[in-house]
């Protein structure tokens, strides 16, 4: 039976993953699985630079815009869904491309994620109401008491992380950290990790231009259509939160545009910091498609 291969294509926002993934998928006759945690939501097309209809005609895509913005989804659920999907796809294909910039999603598929209980709707609603009413600080102080171990390592300015840990604490009666084993899972296929990089000035220019195009393509109208979902975690992300601030009158249109560019550049740096810790990633410029193909073909890792 031929070796089955998962080509994992990563890189910062704006680097050029979409076109490179299409070229690789076409060469290896492979479908593409989306690993962008925002492109999974309907109605968030422009602000997430989701694959276009033309892209999806070129290559079959999975995991794009299949949830409503208010729906709950996690890296653990992504792992489960992708592993089930890969079982089916590898019956027909020797190669599958997993492409995206969401670090937790990539790690969930490549390494597995801890078996943490799914939070019930009642607990999630309760914690979200508390966050909206009390703010983050009281929740951080509570986390310090309920789970001092996780408190020491979590990003205390990240509401999603703090709230999720407290949800688990309340629901199970156990510290969130007690469920975290960080044990790597074995996969029944070969994982070939490809990273895309660019000179920082070029990347920043691409990010700035992409934001300009998003605005020209109608990001403001897209955000207005998503107003019913504005309290959801899906929309607490670059591009949308700045436009909400503009619509609330907290900043001008130009200030919002500049803030989106700035926050996109900051996010790209965070992505690169995360990915550079993974020594299995082989780095290329997006234009080096033939070199990437050669690396994949002769890969023996």
In tens digits, the chain (301 residues) has pLDDT values of: 679 999 999 999 999 999 999 999 999 999 999 999 999 999 999 999 999 999 999 999 999 999 999 998 888 899 999 999 999 999 999 999 999 999 889 999 999 987 778 888 889 889 989 999 999 999 999 999 999 999 988 888 888 889 999 999 999 999 998 887 667 889 999 999 999 999 999 999 999 999 999 999 999 999 999 999 998 889 989 999 999 999 999 999 999 999 999 999 999 999 999 899 999 999 999 999 999 999 999 987 7
The answer to whether the annotation marks 218 as part of a ligand binding site is no
Task: Identify the pLDDT of residue 56.
Answer: 96
Token pair for 115? 């078996």
As a 3-state breakdown, the chain gives helix, strand, coil percent values, each rounded to 5, of 55, 10, 35
The answer to whether the annotation marks 17 as part of a ligand binding site is yes
Beta bridge partners of 98: 8, 33
Where do the domains of the chain lie, and which CATH numbers do they carry?
5-114+189-298 (3.40.50.300), 121-179 (1.10.20.140)
The answer to whether the annotation marks 301 as part of a ligand binding site is no
Q: Are 56 and 62 in contact (CB under 8 A)?
A: no
Task: Please name which of 66, 5, 59 lies closest in space to residue 32, comparing C-alpha atoms.
Answer: 59
Handedness of CA 103, 105, 110, 112 (dihedral sign): positive
- For the entire predicted model, the pTM comes to 0.83
The answer to whether the annotation marks 70 as part of a ligand binding site is no
The answer to whether the annotation marks 15 as part of a ligand binding site is yes
Cα 80 versus chain centre, distance: 16
Q: Are 10 and 195 in contact (CB under 8 A)?
A: yes
For the chain, counts of helices (H) and of strands (E): 13, 6
The answer to whether the annotation marks 286 as part of a ligand binding site is no
Distance separating alpha carbons of residues 11 and 178, to the nearest angstrom: 31
Task: Identify the pLDDT of residue 68.
Answer: 96
């Amino acid at each position: 039976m031929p070796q089955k291969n998962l080509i994992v294509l990563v890189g910062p926002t704006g680097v050029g993953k979409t076109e490179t993934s299409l070229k690789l998928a076409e060469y290896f006759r492979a479908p593409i699985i989306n690993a962008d945690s925002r492109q999974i939501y309907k109605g968030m097309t422009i602000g997430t630079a989701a694959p276009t209809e033309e892209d999806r005609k070129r290559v079959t895509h999975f995991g794009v815009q299949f949830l409503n913005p208010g729906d709950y989804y996690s890296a653990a659920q992504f792992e489960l869904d992708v592993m089930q999907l890969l079982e089916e796809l590898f019956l027909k294909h020797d190669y599958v491309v997993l492409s995206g910039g969401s670090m937790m999603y990539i790690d969930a598929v490549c390494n597995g994620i801890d078996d943490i209980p799914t939070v019930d709707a009642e607990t999630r609603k309760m914690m979200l109401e508390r966050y909206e009413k009390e703010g983050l600080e009281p929740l951080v102080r509570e986390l310090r008491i309920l789970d001092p171990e996780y408190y020491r390592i979590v990003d205390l300015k990240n509401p999603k992380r703090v709230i999720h840990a407290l949800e688990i604490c309340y629901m199970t009666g156990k510290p969130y950290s007690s469920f975290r084993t960080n044990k790597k899972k074995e996969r029944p296929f070969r994982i070939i990790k490809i990273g895309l990089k660019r000179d920082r000035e070029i990347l920043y220019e691409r990010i700035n231009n992409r934001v300009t195009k998003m605005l020209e393509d109608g990001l403001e109208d897209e955000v207005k259509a998503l107003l019913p979902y504005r309290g959801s975690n899906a929309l607490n992300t670059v591009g949308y939160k700045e436009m909400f601030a503009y619509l609330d009158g907290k900043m001008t249109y130009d200030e919002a545009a500049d803030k989106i560019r700035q926050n996109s550049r900051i996010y790209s740096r965070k992505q690169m910091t995360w990915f550079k810790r993974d020594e299995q990633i082989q780095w290329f410029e997006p234009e080096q498609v033939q070199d990437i193909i050669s690396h994949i073909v002769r890969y023996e890792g």
